[in-house]
Amino acid sequence: MRIYLESFGCSASQASAEVMKALVRKLGHELLDLDTADQAEVYICNSCTVKYTTEQKILHKIRSLGNKNVEVIVSGCMPEVQLEDVLHANPEAHILGVNSVSSLGDLLFSIEQRNKQGIFREDHLEIYTHKPLGFLNVPRERFNSNIHICQISQGCNFACSYCIVKYARGKLYSFSPNEIVKDIRTAVADGCKEIWLTSQDDSQYGMDTGFKLPELLRMISKIPGDFRIRVGMMNPISVQPILKDIVDVFDSEKIFKLLHLPIQSASHSVLKKMNRLHQMDAVEMIIAKFRSRFRDLSLFTDIIVGFCSETDEDFKETVEWVKKYRPDKVNISRYSPRKHTKAFSFRNLDSRISVQRSHYLHKVCEDIKLESKQGIIGWKGKVFASKYTEIGDILTRTDSYRPVIISGSDLRPGQCANVEIIASKPGYFLGRVVNK
């Protein structure tokens, strides 16, 4: 069968898509790219349910393709919490649960057999698995051959009032550290130079087993080879119990000095309504500990604007926090009410207020980024070569994960070099190799 797979959402979703693409090829089906997607007999939508706009895009797509008699499979988070919406858009859509990545082959076989028998679009098929299976140590077709996305856990033990992912992916289930290490060893042997550790919250890893993230990072750092580790998002409340150990283990030269710490808001009244369990003084302590140890640390954060009952003063607190701590990257989202969440019953702000606040915060963040970038031009230091760009230049990373593109160099992924940053562009820096 001719199959087109489209994936939405987070890096964990992207990792699942890589596994499913490999399964499609292994079973002998033709995997189409975007240019030939309109020839697909089967469309696999690896869905995301975090934002309303993404949800609507997905529902429109599966509805329109169903009307064209294309077999549609919906995987990922949406079927777990919005099955009724999915089947209303396309009653014949087949369902693959978020934990059932490894069962895609069974679903494709059933569709193929039904079609051979002339049973077209009669009843939709569903496969759900309670326990997450097939996420580690399986073939995958990577979006970039130099980057391996390793999912270390599934689910979350907290209950933010706005978050639907908790209902889609369930309680925390940490994968075996030995299986994770085996998975990464194989990826390094395959030539991967950058390892992304992903989950709903990396610092929750092991809260269900007692084998915590710092111990896992120590094991991964001991794997032989020239590679670097990017630790994914860590929530402040789950960083606090492991703060000393996590700062210590970040000393490893294999771990990028990148702290992705989502605050969502700097207002305690908003955090309380969000059911975010951290206090801002704890956030500030975490940042202070990391920055005192790693002078060139990169700080990423996530912020939701326009959450229910957010006042002008609440928003101002968040803006002032951003100006004070100057994150290198801020992922800004306008609040999007999601069914099944506690916040869905709250009274929403006028959408025009959310739009205005989003635009204003984006402007503040851009001004900070431009000013910070100017201060980095002229920086000299060691970089790690990560991957080739589409035009053949080499993308390198500083220890703090800043992207530096170098042209006309014989650097290869996995090598290190001393460089000088000579200019900045939107999203990256330009550099040149220098002598020690």
**pLDDT for residue 119:** 64
Q: Is the pLDDT of residue 72 over 90?
A: yes
Q: Is the pLDDT of residue 122 over 80?
A: no
Dump pLDDT digits (tens) for 153-178. Answer: 999 999 999 999 989 999 999 999 99
**pLDDT for residue 124:** 85
Q: Is residue 98 part of a domain?
A: yes
Q: Is residue 333 part of a domain?
A: yes
Q: Is the pLDDT of residue 343 over 90?
A: yes
Q: Pick from 357, 376, 395: which residue ends a domain?
A: 376
Dump pLDDT digits (tens) for 279-337. Answer: 999 999 999 999 999 999 999 999 999 999 899 999 999 999 999 999 999 999 999 99
Q: Is residue 138 part of a domain?
A: no
Same domain, 194 and 57: no
Same domain, 223 and 282: yes
CA atoms within 13 A on the CB side of 425: 8
Q: Is residue 364 part of a domain?
A: yes
Same domain, 224 and 329: yes
pLDDT category of residue 82 using cuts at 50, 70 and 90: very high
Q: Is the pLDDT of residue 379 over 70?
A: yes
Contact criterion met (CB below 8 Å) for 72 and 65: yes
Q: Is residue 429 part of a domain?
A: yes
**pLDDT for residue 392:** 86
**pLDDT for residue 427:** 87
Q: Pick from 68, 94, 127: which residue ends a domain?
A: 127
Q: Is the pLDDT of residue 120 over 70?
A: no
pLDDT category of residue 393 using cuts at 50, 70 and 90: very high
- Non-local (6+) Cβ contacts of 351 within 8 A are 306, 334
Q: Is the pLDDT of residue 377 over 70?
A: yes
Contact criterion met (CB below 8 Å) for 183 and 149: no
Q: Is residue 164 part of a domain?
A: yes
Same domain, 367 and 419: no
pLDDT category of residue 130 using cuts at 50, 70 and 90: confident
Same domain, 341 and 411: no
Same domain, 32 and 63: yes
Same domain, 52 and 199: no
Give me the mean pLDDT over the 141-155 stretch: 95
Whole-number average pLDDT of the chain: 94
Same domain, 313 and 369: yes
100: helix, strand or coil: coil
Q: What is the CATH number of the domain that holds 53?
A: 3.40.50.12160
Same domain, 155 and 46: no
Both structure tokens of 235: 């929530």
Q: Is the pLDDT of residue 73 over 80?
A: yes
Same domain, 350 and 250: yes
Q: Is residue 133 part of a domain?
A: no
Give me the mean pLDDT over the 205-224 stretch: 97
Q: What is the CATH number of the domain that holds 199?
A: 3.80.30.20
Same domain, 108 and 13: yes
Give me the mean pLDDT over the 79-106 stretch: 94
Dump pLDDT digits (tens) for 31-64. Answer: 999 999 999 999 999 999 988 899 999 999 999 9
Q: Pick from 351, 376, 401: which residue ends a domain?
A: 376
Give me the mean pLDDT over the 118-145 stretch: 86
Domain housing 180 = 147-376
**pLDDT for residue 436:** 59
Q: What percent of the chain has pLDDT over 70?
A: 99
| Domains identified in the chain, total number | 3
Q: Is residue 282 part of a domain?
A: yes
Same domain, 55 and 116: yes
